[in-house]
Amino acid sequence: MRLVLDTNIWLDWLVFNDPAVEPLKTSRREGLVQIPINAACLGELARVFVYPKFELDAAKRNRLFTEVRNSTYRVDKALLSPIPRCADPDDQKFLELARDAQADWLITKDKALLHLARKRWGAAAPSWCRSTATRSTRSGPTAPRRRKRI
């Protein structure tokens, strides 16, 4: 199974060590899932990792990128099949990666991506586009709200 992770899910995994992401980490370690990544998503991680609020020095950022590299495979070939347009242009890269990697799931808690899935499919969402509630010990804007398969 191929899973695309948005930046907030990566932050939960790498920076916050959120217990809600532990099943994902375990599935990756056991080879049950593959996680594609591309240059655009790596670039966003690079930008976010230097935000002062995370207090990540260069050595820590390098360790995090090593973990990303060890947990993912690169997808740099773009497919030309049409995909929905996200209201937030910064989130389009995740839809493109999901398309290009032929991913089974896009795991996100991004409001624009979740809204797009609800708007596009609503109650008639295909089986691969279902939301499931998640729990977190954290609260605030980075706490998982739901996962949506797009």
Structural domain boundaries in the chain: 3-148
pLDDT in the model for residue 134: 36
pLDDT digits (tens, 9 = 90+) for 65-79: 999 999 999 998 766
pTM of the model: 0.71
pLDDT in the model for residue 139: 36
Q: Which fold has domain 3-148?
A: Rossmann fold (3.40.50)
Instruction: Assign residue 104 a region (left: φ > 0; alpha: ψ between -120 and 50; beta: otherwise).
Output: alpha
35, exposed or middle or buried, with CB in 10 Å at 0-12, 13-18, 19+? buried
Whole-angstrom CA distances from 42 to 38, 97, 101, 121, 150 are: 6, 11, 15, 29, 20
C-alpha–C-alpha distance, residues 37 and 49, integer Å: 16
pLDDT in the model for residue 82: 53
pLDDT in the model for residue 99: 81
Q: Which residues of the chain have pLDDT under 70?
A: 78-91, 110-150
